[in-house]
């Protein structure tokens, strides 16, 4: 008797083991009281019903281990519920199809029949990531739920927005919080430009939009309350455009979903409160809803409370009611009596015509020649990966609708306005004043012109004389402040660089090209030509140039002058013939030039330069793009930090800032900056740590051979350090010259600098102290978990072009 009970118990136990399997095979269908559970126990697939009153059953996937009602992430038969569930079952057929039958034998749902070519023996598996995969015995996946999402994107899933300009995937919201059937709201790429914007639809009408840049971006954030990092990537490979995200710690549950109210949400499970915590959502402001500000008005998100505003040159149709939009103060006449004004920071995409293969001038001409064109925007995306045509000329006709002004990430919109606006109601006195002002202005212009003309002829005459001093044509007083800072004339620069000849090109940076120039008198300089789509005003440019010019340190490259000419903004730096550190470090035939003492000198020099930027100058300056190619070397191999293109100047009492415009170079960016846009002096410490490890190892942060086994140089260095083999990291080209304790100390400092948490990283002053006091004990580094995902790892270490297109500011004074 006892034996009998035991064997029954054992059988039950066995069957329950089978039941919580993660596989569905031909021999073992899934019945309504059964479920599949992923190996990790995180996800379950089975039949569920959400309301007790109404007997609708669905086949779906939910989080298995969460308390409370199911958090459903996928539904197979959302629009075809099972009403008679008792003997409903999911089977795999002989020809490798999955079919869902209800009790009456009705076919409720199935996978396509043409994907298997009749190959038998397939089985389906619920993976640990929540993906339900139908797989052939040959290990070929023929179908997966991740390719057919309902309303949710999970970590590791690829949300394929478009393929060859065709919209592919659409998330469709539930009808209600307990009704999984397809609701009215959905989100997909915009059919007319799937790589430019995502649209949330209410049936077929746009509800709100998210603007893409059209280029690949990656970045992420620390999840609060956990030590894990959320890593988001948007990839535009030319053919494919997709979004994906990953999480460094898979025990943290996250999901992205479109809820039934039309909000696109990023959620994370909070273990303490046992609930889903909102990480981000949109839309948030009322005026973000599609066209809620009428034509020619925009939603101003730069304000505390976002409100609608009229575009420049426009006024409201109805006073204080923006739903009817704004109208021109001055009617636009077709022909040549119009000009364009640049409105920076705008996000526009709707009803746009994308004209291919145009330069900026051609783009403007395109707009000018069509009477119905009201605005254009231009970007040169060269530098973005995998783009056949890097130019992006967008033109708008008729009405401009659904525009936002954003603090970051917008671009300049060139709005067409009528020339010489004459305002109604101007009194004759005003007109007279205006005329006098014009006359005065004209006189000034004439005088300046005459002065320039004379100066020009003088210059020609003196050209042969070889002025020794002479490349400073003018010197400006800015806002009354006295400064000796030289502004160089454009003509001088043209002749110095041979009209920006390609043969003079030294390199390309995120913000423009750098040319070698020879000024009269034989002085060699490097001229940086900021790209023209700059949103920065002349006053800011001058201010910042003057600030940078005041920085004098032997480990910073010297700024000699600058020039502003129409749209051109140029910076003139000292010329360093040895080029940059990467030219030596990563070149097999040149790396031997850098013996250990040279490398150590370079490391210490960079540290000193950074310390000066962070602390010892009167300002706190964050470089934000420290990398090997931005370290120039003089003839004695002294390092000089260059390229302040992205530097940010802090008020001295400020110690952290945020930007959603993450610019920098992948691999060198600290986790909190790459992901959340938060940066501080510790972000530079991180980049310094990466650079230090590169100098010691001679390996690039993302060199492909490392990525095969370790996700990056950091992981590799950590592994060797942990195993006590740190010395293996050392570049073989200088093994003969190194001093062991120095090298080990460097690697140790490097690992401290690349800690995941900014608070664990030393300040540059401590780094200097660590180098100067060789016997001072160092804290033990923690394991860096920040990881690089294969798809977004950019082996060339190319710049992330999240917004470099329009982010041309050289620095921004942050005085908040």
Ligand X SMILES: *[C@@H]1O[C@H](CO)[C@@H](O)[C@H](O)[C@H]1NC(C)=O
Q: Is 528 annotated as a binding residue?
A: yes
Which of these segments, 143-151, 350-358, 429-437, 443-451, binds ligand X (CB under 6 A)? 350-358
| CB closer to ligand X out of 245 and 734 | 245
Please state, in angstroms and rounded to a whole number, the distance separating the CA atoms of residues 295 and 322: 9
Asked if 284 is part of the footprint of ligand X (rule: CB under 6 A), the reply reads no
What are phi and psi for residue 226, nearest 5 degrees?
-135, 170
| CB closer to ligand X out of 129 and 476 | 129
Per-residue x/- track, 430-459, ligand X (CB under 6 A): ------------------------------
Among 2, 68, 335, 480, binds ligand X (CB under 6 A): 335
Site residues for ligand X, window 3-22 (CB under 6 A)?
Answer: none
The CB-side HSE value for 223 (13 A sphere, CA atoms) comes to 28
Least distance (Å) from ligand X to the CB of residue 342? 17
Our CA dihedral for 756, 762, 767, 770, rounded to 10 degrees, sits at -100
Asked if 759 is part of the footprint of ligand X (rule: CB under 6 A), the reply reads no
Asked if 332 is part of the footprint of ligand X (rule: CB under 6 A), the reply reads no
Per-residue x/- track, 484-513, ligand X (CB under 6 A): ------------------------x----x
Least distance (Å) from ligand X to the CB of residue 520? 27
In contact, 792 and 666? CB cutoff 8 Å: yes
State the alpha helices, DSSP H only, in 228-342.
none
Asked if 372 is part of the footprint of ligand X (rule: CB under 6 A), the reply reads yes
Please state, in angstroms and rounded to a whole number, the distance separating the CA atoms of residues 412 and 690: 34
Handedness of CA 607, 610, 615, 618 (dihedral sign): positive
Classified as helix, coil or strand, 42 is: coil
Which of these segments, 180-188, 621-629, 639-647, 747-755, binds ligand X (CB under 6 A)? 180-188
Asked if 370 is part of the footprint of ligand X (rule: CB under 6 A), the reply reads yes
Q: How many CB atoms lie within 10 A of CB 22?
A: 19
Which of these segments, 388-396, 624-632, 638-646, 651-659, binds ligand X (CB under 6 A)? 388-396
Least distance (Å) from ligand X to the CB of residue 761? 23
| CB closer to ligand X out of 65 and 705 | 65
- DSSP category for residue 147: G
Per-residue x/- track, 199-228, ligand X (CB under 6 A): ---x--------------------xxxx--
Least distance (Å) from ligand X to the CB of residue 810? 17
CA distances from 725 to 599, 694, 718, 722, 750 (A): 21, 17, 10, 8, 15
Paired sense of beta strands 403-405 and 30-31, if any = unpaired
The CB-side HSE value for 613 (13 A sphere, CA atoms) comes to 31
Asked if 239 is part of the footprint of ligand X (rule: CB under 6 A), the reply reads no
For the question of residue 625 being annotated catalytic, the response is: yes
Least distance (Å) from ligand X to the CB of residue 337? 8
CA distance from start to end of the chain: 82
What are phi and psi for residue 98, nearest 5 degrees?
-100, 130
Classified as helix, coil or strand, 87 is: coil
Please state whether the peptide bond connecting residue 283 to the residue before it is cis, i.e. omega within 30 degrees of 0: yes
| CB closer to ligand X out of 337 and 407 | 337
Among 274, 357, 477, 658, binds ligand X (CB under 6 A): 357
Among 7, 94, 177, 303, binds ligand X (CB under 6 A): 94
Count how many residues are written for the chain: 816
Which of these segments, 136-144, 263-271, 568-576, 778-786, binds ligand X (CB under 6 A)? 263-271
- DSSP category for residue 384: B
Among 99, 168, 277, 506, binds ligand X (CB under 6 A): 277
Q: How many CB atoms lie within 10 A of CB 419?
A: 12
| CB closer to ligand X out of 390 and 470 | 390
Please state, in angstroms and rounded to a whole number, the distance separating the CA atoms of residues 169 and 188: 6
Please state, in angstroms and rounded to a whole number, the distance separating the CA atoms of residues 529 and 810: 11
Question: Could you give the angle at the alpha carbon of 723 between the alpha carbons of 717 and 728, nearest 5°?
Answer: 50
Site residues for ligand X, window 107-146 (CB under 6 A)?
Answer: 112, 114-115
Which residue in the list 151, 300, 402, 625 is annotated as catalytic? 625
Give, for 349, the enclosing helix (H) or strand (E): none
Least distance (Å) from ligand X to the CB of residue 23? 18
Residue in the structure block whose two tokens are 């991740």: 146
Site residues for ligand X, window 28-57 (CB under 6 A)?
Answer: 54, 56
Closest CA to 219 of 572, 750, 663: 663
Among 23, 192, 270, 617, binds ligand X (CB under 6 A): 270
Closest CA to 120 of 51, 253, 213, 27: 27
Asked if 66 is part of the footprint of ligand X (rule: CB under 6 A), the reply reads no
Residues marked as binding for ATP?
Answer: 528
Residues that bind ligand X (CB under 6 A): 54, 56, 83, 93-94, 112, 114-115, 179, 181, 184-185, 202, 223-226, 251-252, 261-262, 268, 270-272, 277, 279, 321, 323-324, 335-336, 353, 356-357, 359, 370, 372, 380, 382, 388-391, 397, 508, 513
Which residues have a catalytic role annotated? 625
């Amino acid at each position: 008797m006892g034996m009998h009970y035991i064997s029954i118990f054992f059988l039950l136990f066995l069957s329950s083991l089978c039941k919580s399997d993660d596989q569905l095979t031909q021999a073992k269908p899934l019945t309504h009281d059964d479920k599949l559970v992923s190996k990790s126990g995180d996800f379950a697939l089975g039949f569920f019903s959400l309301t007790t009153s109404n007997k609708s059953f669905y086949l779906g996937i939910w989080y298995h281990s969460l308390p409370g009602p199911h958090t459903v992430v996928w539904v197979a038969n959302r629009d075809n519920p099972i009403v008679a569930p008792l003997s409903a079952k999911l089977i795999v057929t002989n020809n490798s199809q999955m079919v869902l039958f209800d009790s009456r034998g009705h076919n409720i749902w199935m996978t396509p029949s043409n994907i298997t070519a009749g190959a038998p023996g397939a089985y389906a598996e619920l993976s640990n990531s929540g993906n339900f995969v139908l797989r052939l015995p040959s290990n070929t996946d023929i179908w997966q739920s991740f390719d057919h999402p309902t309303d949710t994107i999970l970590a590791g899933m690829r949300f394929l927005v478009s393929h060859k300009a065709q919209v592919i995937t659409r998330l469709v919201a539930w009808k209600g919080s307990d009704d999984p059937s397809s609701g009215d709201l959905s989100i997909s790429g915009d059919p007319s430009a799937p790589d430019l914007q995502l649209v949330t639809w209410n049936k077929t009408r746009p509800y709100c939009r998210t603007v893409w840049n059209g280029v690949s971006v990656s970045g992420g954030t620390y999840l609060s309350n956990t030590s894990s990092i959320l890593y988001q990537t948007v990839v535009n490979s030319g053919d494919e455009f997709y979004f994906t995200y990953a999480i460094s710690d898979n025990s943290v549950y996250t999901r992205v979903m479109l809820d039934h109210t039309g909000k696109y949400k990023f959620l994370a499970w909070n273990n303490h409160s046992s609930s889903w915590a909102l990480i981000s959502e949109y839309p948030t402001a009322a005026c973000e809803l599609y066209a809620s500000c009428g034509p020619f008005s925009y939603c101003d998100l730069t304000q505390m409370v976002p409100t609608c505003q009229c575009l420049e040159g426009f006024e409201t149709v109805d006073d204080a009611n923006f739903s009817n939009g704004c109208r021109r103060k001055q009617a636009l006449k077709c022909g040549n009596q119009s000009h364009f004004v640049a409105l920076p920071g705008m996000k526009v995409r709707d009803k746009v015509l994308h004209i291919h293969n145009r330069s900026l001038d051609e783009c403007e001409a395109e707009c000018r020649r069509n009477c119905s064109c009201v605005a254009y925007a231009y970007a040169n995306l060269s530098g973005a990966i995998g783009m056949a045509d890097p130019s992006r000329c967008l033109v708008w006709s008729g009405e401009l609708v659904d525009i936002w002004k954003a603090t970051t990430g917008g671009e300049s919109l060139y709005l067409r306005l009528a020339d010489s606006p004459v305002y109604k109601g101007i009194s004759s006195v005003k007109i007279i004043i205006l005329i006098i002002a014009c006359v005065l202005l004209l006189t000034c212009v004439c005088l300046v012109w005459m002065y320039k003309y004379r100066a020009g002829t003088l210059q020609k005459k003196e050209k042969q004389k070889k002025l020794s001093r002479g490349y400073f044509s003018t010197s400006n007083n800015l806002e009354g402040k006295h400064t000796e800072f030289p502004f160089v004339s454009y003509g001088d620069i043209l002749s110095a660089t041979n009209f920006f000849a390609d043969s003079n090109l030294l390199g390309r940076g995120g913000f423009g090209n750098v040319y070698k120039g020879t000024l009269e008198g034989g002085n060699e300089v490097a001229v940086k030509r900021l790209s023209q789509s700059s949103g920065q005003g002349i006053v800011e440019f001058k201010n910042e140039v003057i600030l940078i010019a005041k920085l004098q340190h032997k480990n910073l490259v010297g700024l000699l002058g600058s020039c502003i000419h129409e749209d051109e903004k140029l910076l003139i730096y000292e010329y360093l013939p040895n080029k940059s550190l990467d030219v030596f470090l990563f070149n097999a035939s040149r790396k031997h030039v850098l013996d250990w003492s040279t490398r150590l000198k370079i490391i210490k020099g960079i540290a000193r330069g950074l310390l000066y930027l962070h602390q010892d100058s009167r300002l706190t300056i964050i470089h934000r793009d420290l990398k090997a190619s931005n370290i120039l070397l003089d003839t004695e191999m002294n390092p000089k930090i260059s390229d302040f293109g992205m530097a940010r100047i802090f008020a001295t009492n400020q110690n952290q800032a945020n930007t959603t415009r993450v610019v920098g170079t992948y691999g060198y960016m600290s986790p909190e900056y790459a992901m959340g846009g938060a940066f501080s002096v510790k972000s530079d410490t991180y980049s310094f740590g990466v650079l230090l490890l590169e100098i010691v190892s001679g390996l690039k942060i993302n060199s492909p051979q490392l990525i095969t086994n370790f996700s990056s140089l950091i992981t590799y260095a950590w592994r060797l350090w942990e195993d006590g083999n740190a010395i293996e990291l050392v570049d073989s080209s200088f093994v003969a010259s190194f001093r062991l304790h120095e090298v080990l100390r460097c690697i140790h400092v490097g690992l401290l600098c690349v800690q995941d948490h900014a608070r664990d990283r030393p300040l540059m002053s401590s780094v200097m102290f660590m180098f100067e006091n060789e016997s001072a004990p160092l804290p033990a580094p923690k394991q860096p978990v920040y990881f690089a995902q294969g798809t977004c790892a950019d082996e060339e270490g190319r710049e992330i072009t999240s917004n470099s297109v329009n982010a041309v500011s050289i620095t921004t004074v942050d005085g908040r």
